[in-house]
Amino acid sequence: MISKSIEKALNDQVRVEAESSQVYLAMACWAEVKGLDGIAQFMYAQSDEEREHMLKLIKYINERGGHAQVSALKAPNVTFDSFQEMFQKLYEHEIFVSECINNLVEITLNEKDFSTHNFLQWYVAEQIEEEAVARTILDKISMIGDDKGGLYLFDRDIKQLNVSSSVDPTQG
């Protein structure tokens, strides 16, 4: 059984994950109408992944005797001046999500809820990977600069982008 304060904190994270899915979805839509099909495909996949993160939390809350809540979401930004700006916003958003997860972990330690703490370690590892992917993308974008040929290749190649993290969430 989880405490009411942990239940509330987890439900807050459900909203963060749902909003993350919406952020990626808005980015996918923007990229798609700009003809950046590879970026759009990448963002649609990321949106789906964030929704899975949300569902994993919902199942955990309900299985531990809590009641998962679906709440109103803050509308994401739907326009960007450039694909570079969009990916910078994505990176900043991932840092925000990492901070939310870290705060949640701190709450579980303070309350000595070691089951939830253990459950959240998957999210900690996932955020390390998410930030690494975002940083790698920003590094590639920096190399491209304003080169249209570079943008073409980036858009084509991002579909296969796979950054391996130094943390393996299946270990430990």
Binding residues for Fe cation: 17, 50, 53, 94, 127
Retrieve residue 25's tokens: 């979805």
84 φ, ψ (degrees, to nearest 5): -65, -45
Instruction: Find out whether 1 and 64 touch, Cβ atoms under 8 Å.
Output: yes
CA dist 9 and 5 (Å) reads 6
The Cα angle at residue 128 between residues 141 and 156, in degrees rounded to 5: 30
Please identify which residue in the block is written with the tokens 């509330």.
8
Q: Which amino acid is it at 36?
A: L
Tell me the DSSP string of 60-117. Answer: HHHHTT--------PPPP---S-HHHHHHHHHHHHHHHHHHHHHHHHHHHHTT-HHHH
Q: Which residues participate in the annotated binding site?
A: 17, 50, 53, 94, 127
